[in-house]
A and B are shown apart, each in its own frame.
Chain A
Amino acid sequence: MRKSSGLTQNLRRQETIAGYLFLLPSLVFFLTFVVYPMFMCIYTSFFDSNMGKDAVDTFIGLGNYKELFQDKVFLGALRNTVLIVVVAVPTVCAFSLWVASAITDMKPWLTSAFRVIFYLPVVTGSVAVTVVWKWMYNNYYGIFNYLLKGMGVIDKNINWLGDARYALWCIIIILFTTSVGQPIVLYVSALGNVDTSLVEAAEVDGATQMQVFWKIKWAQIMPTTLYILVITTINSFQCFALIQLLTSGGPNHSTDTVMYYIYYTAFKLYRYGYGNAMGVVLMIIIALLSAVQFKLGQAQD
């Protein structure tokens, strides 16, 4: 009896060790490429750290953080980033849910076709997508100006990406089109996993389609919604490639985002400490927002 118990313990220990060994590569990767850079980012943010072979990092405490909140460009970038998040996250979620609801009950091949169509911008390289959008927005020969002039909506070309009134909205539109693909696929999958017996029971009890959706389906796809909200929020906060490829933050810093300003500060101005301080602030904001979203999601559950 005792011998058998010893064997079981041995087996468990071996399984535990094997489990940790399987985890090890991912853990090493996570520590090396996520935890260590994060630590370095926080550490360097307390230094006046610049590029230069003989440059010495000087400890300045919270100096970079104090400067941040007096930096008009950073505050403008933060405002733009928040605007992107506030506009993009709800619209992406709502649109994805609407599309997924519409296509999920279609014939399987049609559902798949729509999923492919909406997912295409996600798998297409961001540079290629951006080049096409840049062409469409072009002041001189872009298709938007051509169509709007043809329809008599405008009489003079609009410099979409060169006019501070429109540039950020143009970026948000592109971000929207490249962000909806994944949520649509996730929602289609989540809606497909909704317990049909509950839906049928509700229908038998005389529930309307809206009631079925909000009382049955919405509750069951809540984890997916939460995931989509968090991921879309993080992606919107980290909007960078579109800005770099389309506007470089211009005109007049009207499309600066925090991520782009971090890049600009670190790679153009070589102020690594200051850039890292921005990174830390961004990390705190994203972490807080994600926590709030999780809490709200759990409360709804």
Chain B
Amino acid sequence: MKKLLALVLVLCMVFALGMSAGVYADDVSITLWTYPIGGWGNSEIVDQLIAAFEAENPGIKVSVEYLAYADGDDKVNTAIEGKAAPDLIMEGPERLVANWGAKGYMVDLADLWDDTDKAEILPVVQAACFNKEGASYEYPLCMTAHCMAINLNRFQAVGADKLVDLDAHTWTTDQFIEAVGLLAAENPNVAAVFCGGQGGDQGTRALINNLYSGTFTDADHTKYTADSEENIKALELLAGLEGVNFDPAIVGGDEINLFRQGILDMAFCWNIGAQLNTDNNDAGLTNDGDQIVCMAFPSDDGVPELCGGIWGFGIFDNGNAAKIEAAKTFIKFMADSPATAEAVKASTYFAVRDSADGFDLTKIYDGNDIMSEYTKLMPFLGDYYQVVPGWAEARTAWWNMLQQVGSGADVTTAVAEFCTTANAAAAK
């Protein structure tokens, strides 16, 4: 009798298991790897977004892994080589289009771009998401203009606040030089040209390119032009400017910390995410309570060109059509649906389009003074050149070049060496 009962129980369990397997037979599980793009690096925030997606798409399960910029690329590269790449990845065109896309690992997302998308999404963003052959390896969600920041209290203390246009957030190269001179009389560490690695390097590139209107690449994004007279002049200026130190021991994140701690008077690695940060004090304040003002990079003509940051989703071609389709559904939900507003707000950046699926995205930050003030910098968004071939190698060559300049090497030689290395990588 006991044996019979046990048999019945086992049969019931097997049947139940089979039923449940049948119910979820059509389920698709996909993995998303995301870099810390504002709140997209925070599991509490992302879990809510994923829950909303899964509620609307019950047949798709999404698991998330969080990457850090310090070793995220290594993890992804290792996963690619080990045939274990994630289905979805969230980052910018410099990785998705210019690196993994160019190497043939990404799915062409051109079919996701309908005419409405092309009308709604900013042209500069669209251009960055497509390669020269017309394939799209990224569907964009959010963007910002990278800028720099100043400690307003320090500027006021030495009378340098008169040198900056606090309303337009702009200043000229001459005003920058004068301000550094005034600040250096009080603090030997006015600013740091950080060059310990690639972290935050958009700041050093933008600083050098803006000072005398140099460019980093040609307009077609086919070769590196950092060895121009304008850039050499800018580097020579910085290398000889008292108070500005080339520091190979820090990267962008370290520089931000030093600025928040009041050790530096300026930060060259800044954006709206940093301005909104409340880890140690209210947003827009240093740890000691000094006021932080976002500024465009100083330029000789007073018209800055800021380096853009664009973030969105790409799909790795893992050869599974069902997963690719599920990943596309995820992308459309996050970046082109009524849910897009929350997805953009989670990033703490700006939407790349005015509306998504009829939902107005221009007012998502209404009532937020810091975001409203920051929008004054967005018109200065310059060319998104980070999609030039050989980008990954050029980035490492860049900070090595800055280290050489900082240690007293001849600027012309160092920059020429950089361009030789970077252009050789671009030509591969």
Contact = CB atoms under 8 A, between A and B. Distances in A.
A140 B197 contact: no
Interface stretch (A13-21, A23-31, A51-59, A88-96): A51-59
Contact of B249 (A54, A55, A162, A270): A162
A267 B198 CA distance: 14
B400 A270 contact: no
A140 B264 CA distance: 10
B410 interface: no
Nearest to A248: B197
Q: Which of A54, A251, A269 has the most CB of B within 10 A?
A: A251
Nearest to B105: A53
B400 A139 contact: no
B404 A252 contact: yes
B248 A270 contact: no
Contacts of A270: 77, 392
B314 interface: no
A253 interface: yes
A51 B77 contact: yes
Contacts of B104: 52-54
B308 interface: no
B393 A248 contact: no
A176 B146 CA distance: 41
A54 to B, nearest CB: 5
B103 A252 contact: no
B249 A268 contact: no
A104 B403 CA distance: 48
B396 interface: yes
B74 A251 contact: no
B242 interface: no
B180 interface: no
Nearest to A54: B104
Interface string B178-216: 000000000001000001110000000000000000000
B8 interface: no
Contacts of A253: 400
A44 B103 CA distance: 20
Contacts of A137: 249
A267 B248 contact: no
Interface in B380-428: 392-393, 396, 399-400, 403-404, 406-407, 409
Contacts of A55: 103
Contacts of B74: 267
A268 B248 contact: no
Nearest to A50: B428
Interface string A178-192: 000000000000000
Contacts of A162: 196, 247-250
A139 B247 contact: yes
A264 B105 CA distance: 21
A163 B258 CA distance: 19
Contacts of B195: 250-251
Contacts of B250: 139, 162
A251 B403 contact: yes
Contacts of B103: 51-53, 55
B263 interface: yes
Interface in B227-271: 247-250, 258, 261, 263
B77 A247 contact: no
A175 B203 CA distance: 33
A140 B189 contact: yes
Interface string A138-165: 1111000000000000000001111010
A250 B400 contact: yes
Contacts of A248: 196-197
Interface string B102-114: 0111000000000
B393 A269 contact: yes
A160 B197 CA distance: 16
Contacts of B120: none
Contact of B81 (A51, A54, A140, A264): A51
Interface string A250-284: 11110000000000100111100000000000000
Contacts of B258: 140
Contacts of B406: 251
B218 interface: no
A253 B396 CA distance: 12
Contacts of A139: 247, 249-250
Contact of B248 (A52, A140, A141, A251): A251
Nearest to A161: B249
Nearest to B74: A267
B77 A141 contact: no
B73 interface: yes
A268 B392 contact: yes
Contacts of A164: 407
Nearest to B78: A267
A92 B406 CA distance: 34
B400 A140 contact: no
A138 B189 CA distance: 14
A250 B105 contact: no
B248 A250 contact: yes
Contact of B407 (A51, A52, A141, A251): A251
Nearest to B73: A267
Contacts of B80: 51
A264 B195 CA distance: 16
A42 B104 CA distance: 27
A267 B71 CA distance: 10
B247 A268 contact: no
Nearest to A249: B400
Contact of A247 (B81, B189, B249, B409): B249
Interface in A49-69: 51-55
Contacts of B393: 268-269
A268 B103 CA distance: 14
A194 B399 CA distance: 55
A264 to B, nearest CB: 8
Contacts of A269: 392-393, 396
19 contacts: A52-B103, A52-B104, A53-B104, A55-B103, A139-B247, A140-B189, A140-B258, A141-B261, A161-B248, A161-B249, A250-B400, A250-B403, A251-B248, A251-B407, A267-B74, A267-B77, A269-B392, A269-B393, A270-B392
Given A267-B73, A269-B392, 15 more contacts: A51-B80, A51-B81, A51-B103, A53-B103, A139-B247, A159-B247, A159-B249, A162-B196, A162-B249, A250-B400, A251-B407, A252-B403, A253-B400, A268-B396, A269-B393
Interface of A: 51-55, 137-141, 159-162, 164, 247-248, 250-253, 264, 267-270
Top 7 closest pairs, chain A to chain B, by CB:
A53-B104, A162-B249, A251-B248, A161-B249, A52-B103, A162-B248, A251-B403
